[in-house]
Structure 1
Amino acid sequence: MTERRSLFSGLTERLSRNLTAWILIGMVLGVIVGQVLHTQLAADVIKESVAPWLKLLSDIFLHLIKLLVAPLVLSTIVVGIAHMGDGAALGRIGTRAIAWFITASLISIGLGLVMVNLFQPGVGAPIPDVEAAKAAVGTVPETSATGFILSIFPKNAFEALATNNILQILVFSIFAGVALAAIGEKGAPLVRGADALAEMMLQITGYVMRYAPIAVFGAIANVVAASGLDILKTYLELLVEFYLSLVLLWVILLAIGAIFLGRRIVTLVKYIRQPLMIAFSTASSEAALPKMFEQLDRFGVPRRISGFMLPLGYSFNLDGSMMYMSFATIFIAQAYGIDLTISTQIMILLTLMISSKGIAAVPRASLVVITGTLAMFGLPVEGVAIILAIDQFLDMGRTATNVVGNAVATSVITKWEGMLEVEEPEYVEHPHIPAHTAADGRAGLDLDESNFKQG
């Protein structure tokens, strides 16, 4: 009996540390409960009395996600910009890096929009309450280009925060971050305050994500109860089509990298396979960062370059997450039968590209950005609860893609600067990278341009 209790206790402890396992359990239980409610064995009166409570479980999660949007975006963008220093300090490498990141982001989000419109995984999906959602949302208004640009600039910062207007929050955050960097020591208390706010929001995000398995259970059970097991076919199609899109993105990124690196792009893929597998299995880019530093050292990237590029890229160059956010946003619109014009989709693309910057370190950061974007364009936020059920499996692919994108970006910028060295054998040992180095966007790097000169 004692051995059984010990075994059960050990299993419970391991599961408490493994959110993926709990999410899988929530999915299985949700399918079982939902199918029982869907069959004729369940009386309609039982179904009607249980369904609102199941929906409540996922709605609580959605409300908590909305809670995170404004303070999270504000604090992370302000701190990130303030820590960068002024534009002159970033120098030539910073300028080239940002240009690469913007280009890669446009390619990733644009490809996501093309593929989701080509595959149309959400069209005909057995989502409950489609007609009610369409009636509530109505026709998504088509905003003119001038109207959209004007709507980006806030008239009142507090109003933007109160309404979760993500683009207006970003504009205010950028001004605040640049101003704090410009005034130097006088702004240090505010920077520390914003840093503390960011840390607090990260902690709250961790708490919210612990509730995710319960939300998954409620969302799956509610959907299956209304639609039956046909929804699982929709999930499988979404997974397959999303991963096919990621493969195409890999081909494009590696092809662009080959233009700069030539045949060494094959060697780069060989060197990053270990951090790639770490990122895929853990769904965490940060978990792969120490090994990524080590492998790029061996590939020939000087540490003073990778120490700047990788932390910056982890905030501003998330190619897999970019594609996922455009894919998921349009999927939700398709699932609820909402037609979006090309101009509206382009505006969504630009919104996602800007709003995703700076919050990469947040678990499930993509869900936060998607929620804010859906709300901004009047799309049903409830759709997030649908993709939440398989978000872990989508997260594994997009995280691995983020690693590939940052490895290519770092290597290309190094080659562009004429600083790519001869690769080292794999048996060469390198010191472990301290955890605080990965967290610091500056990575202890002196950004004075003279330090980057050849030789």
Structure 2
Amino acid sequence: MTAPSHHHPQKPNRQTLYVSIALILGIMVGELLYLTLGNTATGNAHPALAHIIEVFTVITQVFLRLVKMIIAPLVISTLVVGMAKMGDTQTVGRIGTKAIFWFFSASIFSLLLGMFLVNMLEPGASLHIPLPPAGAETGLPQVSPSLKSFAEHMFPSSIIDAMANNEILQIVVFSMFFGVACASLGDLALPIVKTLDSLSHIMLKVTSYIMHSAPFAVFAAMASVIAQQGIGVLLTYGKFIGEFYFGLLLLCTLLGCISSLFIGRRIFSLLRHIREPMLLAFGTASSESAYPKLLQQLERFGCDEKVCGLVLPLGYSFNLDGSMMYMTFAVLFIAQAYGIDMALTDQLTMLLVLLFTSKGVAGVPRASLIVISATLSMFNIPEAGLLLLLGIDQILDMGRSATNVFGNSIAAAVISRWEKALR
């Protein structure tokens, strides 16, 4: 399923340019709104601001909903076709094992790097704002990640239900069974495989239509964040945000270096290809919004379609390097803010807890916050500390999402190389 090659070479760059411009315009418009309507003489926001923010939120929501609409059919069609083409369970098992091995290594690496940086930089110790009282409500749903909830997230009771709720992991499990069955039936399953193959092409075509509205969504997302908070919030939390982004940058650089051991100089070409999906994830603070585009770009880069079809959906559940780093950062940041000194053994236990709990709540919005909240209560750190982060969660989420996209592209490229299937 190769993308047609008669695309104009300058097209993707122009789209990236539009998204970048939208990002900058969004910041400017947001700040303008914040300054004119955000803090009037009475100290309250102007009522008009709420309406404007609502309009912005709707624009972003519409885009994200349109993207989510594509994800289930796209994952099913690409995965099943990929499996059917592999033709045997051994190949599937081999690629799956390599993927899981890479994901766990990358996750542990992200967690450890996050832990090391927080202990070195101590962002929580230098916070000059009043702390929320230890008993304050965070307003997050009380979900304690457990083995039971992990299993429920992984195995679908109904594929229609999994598709309706965009539970990527459940869709992957179903598609793997379905694809392996298609492969073993051979010619008998051909009509279905052909149908799904054309479905995946149709879905990628739909993606290209939806992507035209990406700059508007990015603009609206940025403007609404800044209009609510103002750029001033960046100064209060400047050190924390700066250190977190430094951590993400370091993580991406190190992952890039490790992967260049496998794919050599092609890492630069990979970066060129995934610029736009990363920008998109950054602007909308959602890694999902980049999924369809990322699939297209990785195949253009030369990753094997069978590998992408398997590695990407799995990666979206298991390989969220940016989120992993954020979780260590956040827990230790809150502990530092409350002056709680966590022993090294506690910190390592926390890493293990995060490594597994973070895998089970993939489909929940603000999932990382729920995992953090559960982890905080395990180690008797006031959960109210999360209120320190809620205001800037969106700003941190932008970096996390872009890093998640980067981590998954690297995984797809390296595993394609391992399978000797990188074109």
TM-score, structure 1 length as denominator? 0.56
Aligned equivalents of 1:30 and 1:125: distance in 2? 28
**C-alpha distance in structure 1 between counterparts of 2:411 and 2:119, whole Å:** 28
- 5 Å-filtered alignment, 1:112-151, equals 112-129=114-131, 133=134
Give the ranges of 4+ consecutive aligned residues of structure 1 lying more than 6 Å apart after TM superposition.
Answer: 19-31
1:172-223 deviation per Cα after TM superposition (whole angstroms, max 9, x unaligned):
3456678x6xxxxxxx7x44697489569xxxxxxxxxxxx99x98xx8xxx
Cα distance, 1:126 vs structure 2: 3.0
| Alignment counterpart, residue 384 of structure 2, candidates 379, 382, 385 | 382
Of the three residues 148, 151, 161, the one matched with 1:172 is: 148
What is the aligned partner in structure 2 of residue 273 from structure 1?
275
Q: From 248, 271, 276, give the equivalent of 1:246.
A: 248
Partner residue of 2:305?
Answer: 303
Q: 2:264 aligns with which of 232, 238, 262?
A: 262
Q: CA deviation at 1:329?
A: 1.0
- Counterpart amino acid of residue 295 in structure 1: Q
Determine which structure has more spread, i.e. the larger CA radius of gyration. Answer: 1
Q: 1:272 to 1:100 in 2, by over 3 A?
A: same
Residue 385 of structure 1 deviates from its aligned partner by: 1.3
Sort the Cα spacing of 1:27 and 1:294 in 2 relative to 1 into closer, same or farther, 3 A: same
Per-residue CA deviations over 1:334-355 (Å, capped at 9, x if unaligned) read: 1111111111111111111111
AA aligned opposite 1:103: S
Residues 358 and 368, structure 2, Cα contact 8 Å, conserved in 1: yes
Which whole-Å deviations, capped at 9, do the CAs of 1:358-384 have from their partners, x for residues lacking one? 433433221121112112222111111
CA distance in 1, matches of 2:112, 2:374: 19
Distance change (3 Å), C-alpha of 1:195 and 1:246:
same
Paired with 1:232 and 1:280, the residues of 2 have a C-alpha distance of 17
In structure 2, C-alpha distance between the alignment counterparts of 1:89 and 1:301, rounded to whole Å:
16
* Aligned mates of 2:152, 2:373 — CA distance in 1: 24
5+ long unaligned stretches in structure 2: 1-25, 45-78, 84-88, 168-223
1:239/1:89 CA distance change after superposition, 3 Å: same
In the other structure, the counterpart of 1:315 is 317
- For residues 412 and 326 of structure 1, the distance between their equivalents in structure 2, rounded to whole angstroms, comes to 26
Q: Which amino acid aligns with 1:280?
A: F
Shift of 1:408: 0.4
SS class of match (1:123): helix
RMSD after superposition: 4.0
Partner of 1:354: 356
Structure 1 segment 25-64 matched on structure 2, within 5 A: none
Number of equivalent positions: 297
Alpha-carbon offset, residue 36 of structure 1: 6.2
CA distance in 2, matches of 1:177, 1:368: 15
Among all aligned residue pairs of Structure 1 and Structure 2, give the percentage whose two residues are the same amino acid.
44
Unaligned runs of 5+ in 1: 1-18, 38-82, 138-161, 181-187, 201-212, 221-228, 422-455
* Gap change, CA 1:199 and 1:92, over 3 Å in 2: closer
C-alpha separation in 2, matches of 1:194 and 1:292: 25
Q: In structure 2, give the amino acid aligned to 1:347.
A: T
Q: Any conservation in 2 of the 1:27–1:389 contact (CA below 8 Å)?
A: no
TM-aligned CA deviation for residue 324 of structure 1: 0.8
CA distance in 1 between counterparts of 2:36 and 2:335 reads: 27
Distance 1:26 1:325 in 2: 32
Task: Kindly report which structure 2 residues correspond to 1:37-436, keeping only aligned pairs within 5 A, or say none.
Answer: 90-129=92-131, 133=134, 164-166=143-145, 169=146, 171-173=147-149, 190-191=157-158, 195=162, 233-421=235-423
